[in-house]
Structures are given as C-alpha cells and as structure tokens.
Structure 1
C-alpha cells in the first residue's frame, strides 16, 4: 500500500476501509431482522428528529400555557418533566408519542411487539438525558433504544 492509498483510507474513514477489505455491513436493521425499506424498517434520522421536535414543542406549549406564567428556565424544566411523562406513558401504552404518530413511526421491542412499561420508562429517562439518544450504533439506534431493547420503525 502506498502513501496515497493509506491517506485515502484514513480520510474516507474506517467503514470505507473495511468495505474495501470485503466486510459487508448490509443495510440498517439487517442485524435485527428488519426489512430494508417500507413498513417495519428502521426509522430515518430526519423523521425521528422531526417527531422529537413536535413532542418537545407540545411539551413546551403545555408547560408555558398550563404551569408557568411566562417563558423562562422553569418552563423548560417543566417541559422536560412533561416530555418524560409523555414518552413513558405513550410509548409504554400505544407505542408512539404524538410526534411519532404524526411522522408515522412506532417504538417496538427488538423481540417484536409493544415495549413494556418499565422499558418505556427507562427509554424515556435516557431520552431526557439527551446524550444516549445522540450516540447511535450502525443500525441507527441510539443508546436509549439499545439499553431499553427498543427500535424505532416506520409504520
């Protein structure tokens, strides 16, 4: 391997170098037995972020309108608590938050079926911490989904 190839593999990243060596990563969700496209496939990051934005906006609106007198730090704190409760209850019962329903997403167990309420509570707590939701694996699942045994799929 000459210097140009070594530099090129370094610039393109470890995934590209591994693929050149013959490693087959497959599509997102292949390891979980999910389809590549359509219903039941891994939800796209844009749709997941859009659903979170809708849920956060709804929680801010509730906190601003019903709990606090004006917008401030207290409003954001209440909104975070409302987001936790919203995520835990709706994902634990119907499998989706209002934002996820709007974007046609659902949270299911990796083994199939609905996520149990204790796992939904764990997932909601990790979502509110933010960092676990920002660290993704190669299937596109955040640590909050991995730790709770969940996966977000398209409906």
Structure 2
C-alpha cells in the first residue's frame, strides 16, 4: 500500500521524500528555533491578519459607508472595497517597510528568503495570492503559506 509519506507533497519542498524530519519549523530555511528571526507561528500571523482586516473595515466604514460586520448585509461593492483596502495596505506597507499594521502589533515582519525586504514583484504576488484566500490556507512543514512560498517570502519574528 502506498502511504502519503512515500509520495511527499510539492508543498513540503525539497527533502520531503527523504524522511528527514526537521527539528523545528524553519530549520530547513536556516532560521533559529525561537526569538528574533525565527519563523512567525500561525497564532501570531492569524492575529495580525485579524488586526489588518479590522483596520480596513473601520476605514471602509468611515470613508465609504461600508457596514460594519453583524450590523447590516454587505453588498458585493462593499466586499470589493474591503478587499481593495486590504490589498492596498499589504502592497504599500509590506513593499516599503516589510510589515502591515497587524504584523507590527504582533511582532512580525515579511522578509524575502534572502533576508531583505520583499521586492515589488514578490509583494505583488504575495498580496494577490493572499487576497485569493485559498493559498493562505495551505502551508508546508515550515509553516510557510502557499502565498509566501510562491512569492519567495517568509514571515519572521521581530
């Protein structure tokens, strides 16, 4: 019988079939186990996205009269405005300072895999895939989402 471990996953990247487990997430990327420069874990990343989305909702409510959650039914236009603000925040802030407002609050930063601030094309790819939502729901053994893997970025602790 063929087992999933025998096949490996394209998301798991090189070495997935070797059976050599990593001691901790980020080890294969040369990152420390904990502290500054270590891989940003799921809880922090999720809290950062919730903060970013909440800020975008407040801006949309203030400037575009998009209803707040649980107060009224949002239209397709309202959803497009919210998603556009979220994308704009990610493009501008990740592309310039390497972190969104939510990332800064929870102590995270987006780096290129070479340790620098992501280049414009990396930021664009990451943002488009993040806004598509589905790629962000799949991650590899190191905890990198498909949107980060495709863009060549990683989220680290600051």
- What band does the TM-score fall into relative to the shorter chain? 0.7 to 0.9
Paired position in structure 2 for 1:65: 62
Q: Please state how far the C-alpha of 1:112 moved relative to its aligned partner.
A: 1.2
Query: What is the correspondence of 1:85-104 to structure 2 with a 5 Å cutoff?
Result: 85-104=88-107
Q: Which of 13, 33, 38 is residue 41 of structure 1 equivalent to?
A: 38
Query: What is the correspondence of 1:101-120 to structure 2 with a 5 Å cutoff?
Result: 101-120=104-123
For the pair 1:153 / 2:156, whether they are aligned, the reply is yes
Q: Which of 1, 19, 24 is residue 21 of structure 2 equivalent to?
A: 24
Choose 67-76 or 33-42, whichever is displaced more.
Answer: 67-76
**How does the TM-score come out when normalised to structure 1?**
0.83
Question: In 2 relative to 1, CA 105–69 (structure 1 residues): closer, same or farther, beyond 3 Å?
Answer: closer
Question: In 2 relative to 1, CA 37–118 (structure 1 residues): closer, same or farther, beyond 3 Å?
Answer: same
Q: Which has the higher helix share?
A: 1
Q: Please state how far the C-alpha of 1:76 moved relative to its aligned partner.
A: 2.4
Which protein has the larger Cα radius of gyration, Structure 1 or Structure 2? 1
Contact 2:126 2:148 in 1 (8 A): yes
Unmatched 5+ residue regions in structure 1? Answer: 1-9, 15-21
Distance 1:90 1:68 in 2: 24
Q: SS state of the match for residue 54, structure 1?
A: helix
Q: Please state how far the C-alpha of 1:31 moved relative to its aligned partner.
A: 0.8
4+ aligned runs moved over 3 Å, structure 1:
none
Unmatched 5+ residue regions in structure 2? Answer: 6-18, 69-73
Distance 2:104 2:145 in 1: 19
Q: SS state of the match for residue 139, structure 2?
A: coil
Paired position in structure 2 for 1:54: 51
